[in-house]
A and B are shown apart, each in its own frame.
Chain A
């Protein structure tokens, strides 16, 4: 049993390694030129070579992502609670939210730049605007799916709407909230990198754009890998939180073990 678990946690690493090997071999076999698709070995040496720059720009991206994500959690939670708890807010706000979510966020960046200039702030706002929607929708769904019997039990005890919200609504929607955080954190990365490529002189997005304009393709790929790795790390942290906070939602399933 224990060995099986150890093996399970090893599998993702093995698969990643296999993918890189396959990539390396294919490039070598078909003699793919590095300005089309660089080999992983070249990407990693480039990464090491430019480690100072990459470190600096990664920190910037990480910073804007986390701030944007944090704001999205706060905003999404508030909007989700309001939409889920009140019929009027739901009917009046939902179409607007859907409309806003349908706007490609790249199209927003120029507008934000006009208001706030280039750099950190547009990246934060873009990360926020792309990430708050799934949070709001999930929290609202959690509230909307409270079992009517559970509501009736509380109402027959004389609970106010506020008490129903805090005693059932919020605990009931935490698994939904944490599920959405996993999506939201990756979306935040997408948001801030998009904004950096369009309007910034800092961040991984900027690094990749400027590298590609100089045809330094391996550096572009190094940036891509770094963004991916940061995404995985943040996702893992969210999963850890999820399992901590909502153990009951996983019940006896294997995930909680």
Chain B
């Protein structure tokens, strides 16, 4: 186990509920993620992937084991993480620009500088929206955007304060195939530019292989990591990459591991 890993889980377990209703969601999780890596987590539905995200960000305390992020043990919500969920969770009463500026209002040191340096921050917001193709929608409300546009804005909000850790829980799950593949490339570009550490939960194995350096496969509940696959395909990857034999082989081997889990 690497001692200098950015995210480090030691024998982590989590149980929901009490007594008879007690459900063990994950058990004996061990995982190390290097700084600047993009990892994907796949596994059967209900195996505890979302729970893993909440454990790493400190939104839920583990029932057992220890979690370290950036060398510090996680005991409560860790500050300044970027998070994006399947539902876009943009606030309908704010414009797109105001929505993605939210982290500046909460994360230190931005929150103390925001009032005096507002124009500088607005420019940063407009820049990131521009980079995902939402330059003309800054003053529209989220409900005036399409689902794909909302997800783009959602990614912007997760990234605008340049977090060291980005947690993505099926952010492209609700989108059609074309929009999804487009956003893979948007996501990859953002990552290549900033090189944050990213954890992506997904059901889409092609998505996992396209975006990540390593794919970790979880067993069915209680979830454990049973298999890891390094993706040694050079970046930037394109849609063409996904049709190469090497890519297809990787997706096949992942699918096999997961369908084994379903049959058990």
Q: A residues engaging B (CB < 8 A)?
A: 147, 149-150, 152-159, 163, 167-168, 171, 174, 246, 248-249, 251-252
Which residue in B81, B87, B92, B141 is a CB contact (below 8 Å) of A156? Answer: B81
Q: Which of chain B's residues have a CB closer than 8 A to the CB of A163?
A: 105-106
> How far apart are A170's CB and chain B's nearest CB, in angstroms?
10
Decide if A158 touches B143 in the complex (CB within 8 Å): no
Interface centre among B79, B81, B89, B105 (most CB of A within 10 A): B89
Decide if B89 touches A157 in the complex (CB within 8 Å): no
Cα-based distance from A168 to B83 in the complex (angstroms): 16
Question: Can you sample 22 A-B contacts with CB below 8 Å?
Answer: A149-B85, A150-B89, A152-B54, A152-B83, A153-B83, A153-B89, A153-B157, A154-B106, A156-B59, A156-B82, A157-B79, A157-B83, A157-B103, A158-B78, A158-B107, A163-B105, A163-B106, A171-B91, A174-B93, A248-B92, A248-B141, A252-B143
Decide if A158 touches B105 in the complex (CB within 8 Å): no
> How far apart are B16's CB and chain A's nearest CB, in angstroms?
14
Interface centre among A149, A150, A153, A159 (most CB of B within 10 A): A153
For chain A, what secondary structure do more than half of its interface residues adopt (helix, strand, loop), or is it mixed? helix
Known interface pairs A156-B59, A167-B102, A167-B105; A248-B81 also in contact (CB < 8 Å): no
B133 interface residue per 8 A CB criterion = no
Known interface pairs A163-B106, A167-B105, A252-B143; A157-B80 also in contact (CB < 8 Å): yes
Known interface pairs A150-B89, A150-B91, A248-B141; A155-B103 also in contact (CB < 8 Å): no
> How far apart are B232's CB and chain A's nearest CB, in angstroms?
32
B64 interface residue per 8 A CB criterion = no
B57 interface residue per 8 A CB criterion = yes
> How far apart are A191's CB and chain B's nearest CB, in angstroms?
32
> How far apart are A159's CB and chain B's nearest CB, in angstroms?
5
> How far apart are B129's CB and chain A's nearest CB, in angstroms?
18
Q: Which of chain A's residues have a CB closer than 8 A to the CB of B108?
A: 158
Cα-based distance from A163 to B106 in the complex (angstroms): 8
B77 interface residue per 8 A CB criterion = yes
Q: Which of chain A's residues have a CB closer than 8 A to the CB of B82?
A: 156
Decide if B81 touches A157 in the complex (CB within 8 Å): yes
